[in-house]
Chains A and B, each alone.
Chain A
Amino acid sequence: MFHALQLETVDNVATVVTEVDKGTVLTVQTPSETLTITSVDSIPFGHKIALASIEQGGTVTKYGRPIGRATSSIPKGGMVGAHNVEGRRGRGDLVAGRGASK
């Protein structure tokens, strides 16, 4: 059994498929193997866990493609979600000059 799924080997996040408490040792199914990682946050079903630390401004990769960039640094085992990652496409707020992104 696995607690999280990494979809492509280049992804720096995995999707958790169970409710995860802070400090849980998770089994992550990758395309080729299983590995373990300790959560540093509580993570709800369906949200993402960082498989490696991600710097502020760093690219978050899932499905082998960029899904956005980190708005703050995210530690390995941390939750990755709308609170710390932003999209780069369709950003009318940036056009209007009100975006949070640098």
Chain B
Amino acid sequence: MNTFLGFLRPGDMAGTRNHVLVIPAGRVLSIAATRVTNYVTGTKTAITGGGEVGRHKRDRERVACLLTGFAKNPNTYATIVLGAKKGFGYRETEAYNLAHEIAKAGKPVEVLTVEESGGLERLVEDGIAMARRFVHDASLVRREPVSADRLTIGVKCGESDATSGIAGNPSFGKAADLLIQDGGSVIFSETTELIGAETDMAERCADPADAKRLLEMVYEIEELAKRTGEDIRGINPLPSNISAGISTLEEKSLGAVRKAGTSKIMGVLEYATQPRKKGLHFMDGWMSAFSLPMSLAAAGCQIAIYQMGGDVLPSNDPPMLAHDNAVVAPLMIVTGNPRTASKAPRSIDFSAGAIITGESTVEQMGEALYAKILSIASGEVTKGETIRYSDPLEPYYLGPVF
């Protein structure tokens, strides 16, 4: 049994990180959450580009799932919820309701409000003081060896090119199979990128009810695509995918699902919700690099992996589309493209490019990637974690807005 060095949490869980989380209960509190987390080391927050205002209940619930999911994630030691005042705003994202849900994880959670602190600036001061206490408390928890069955990792593929389906995704799939053999869990997503591969995935579901739900998710999104009146090619695959050799959505999908390895699918999850079993899971989700990693973290992933093609990226350390988009989970960027690996050495944590050059095999690269994942789980920082990245994140909303 493989192990990693983790921070023990209630409920037989273990973190790969030890963050104090500050969450805004409603978008109007983002300014306070940003000020607190800019000031206090060891903290994280999630600033979203689109708020909950004017949205349907099911979208407000999505915001709540994200925020409470980050707090329940084993990488979070404690959470501070910032609110306007008790009872303010929509019920789903009201500060005390969020804290009530978060408390079920058995970890410290506190609410601070503008009203009780005596103004927005006082709230920031109180938030800073409380965050500093929590960061010190968190430092008293030490890493210790835990078995790999306490690890859940999430994966998205991005900047897909022809190497994605041949090298990058298959080697991740091998690493996923190895983690699952050790009793751990893997979550993959990107519902649109099941179109063309959905029957193969449905056949791999252990429970027929999950197979049915997976097919429903795929056919719902395909129906929405048809209603646009456009060929989905040009929306997804993106122009950069097409110029890198991916000709149709079906081709992209069939390459994308290689990241799911060969294990049975033990569960099909609604967006940003946590699995109840171990093993491989599919989660409904949107592929955006600014959206999916945080959704995987909300589902409980302690590491998010961005499996990148990247052939059409510019040379000389191109800007990455993601660096720290998984909030409380470290984002690890891997590629199967040797040309991408040489272009972006400051961003790529692992390259399986030797498959493309014929110097290595999917099996060998998968084993090496699993070892790297366990090292990052044990505290090795990802290249993205060495910078302070901040860009608004985008919840996957169903719409419409009113």
Contact = CB atoms under 8 A, between A and B. Distances in A.
Contacts of B242: 81-82
Contacts of B163: 17, 46
B247 A91 contact: no
Interface stretch (B12-20, B249-257, B268-276): B249-257
A23 interface: no
B231 A93 contact: yes
Contacts of B356: 17
A67 B248 contact: yes
Nearest to A15: B162
A88 B247 CA distance: 12
B231 A92 contact: yes
Interface stretch (B50-58, B70-78, B99-107, B221-229): B221-229
Contacts of A94: 231
A26 interface: no
B225 A90 contact: yes
A30 to B, nearest CB: 13
Contact of A81 (B229, B245, B249): B245
A1 B358 contact: yes
Contact of B229 (A7, A15, A93): A93
Contact of A87 (B161, B192, B229, B232): B232
A95 B242 CA distance: 23
Contacts of B192: 90
A47 B250 CA distance: 15
Interface string A5-18: 10100000001010
A90 B193 CA distance: 11
Contact of A7 (B166, B225, B244): B166
B97 to A, nearest CB: 38
Interface string A27-46: 00000000000000000111
A69 to B, nearest CB: 9
Interface string A70-99: 000000000011100111111111111011
Contacts of A65: 196-197, 200, 250, 254
A87 B248 contact: yes
A93 B228 CA distance: 8
A89 B162 contact: no
Contacts of B250: 65-68, 87-89
27 contacts: A1-B358, A15-B166, A15-B245, A17-B357, A45-B339, A46-B161, A46-B162, A46-B245, A47-B162, A60-B247, A63-B165, A81-B242, A82-B233, A86-B233, A87-B248, A88-B250, A89-B196, A90-B192, A90-B195, A90-B226, A90-B232, A90-B249, A91-B231, A92-B227, A92-B228, A93-B231, A96-B229
Given A90-B231, A92-B227, 17 more contacts: A5-B166, A47-B245, A48-B162, A48-B245, A66-B196, A82-B248, A86-B248, A87-B247, A89-B195, A89-B249, A89-B250, A90-B225, A91-B232, A92-B226, A92-B231, A92-B232, A93-B231
Interface of A: 1-2, 5, 7, 15, 17, 44-48, 60, 62-63, 65-68, 80-82, 85-96, 98-99
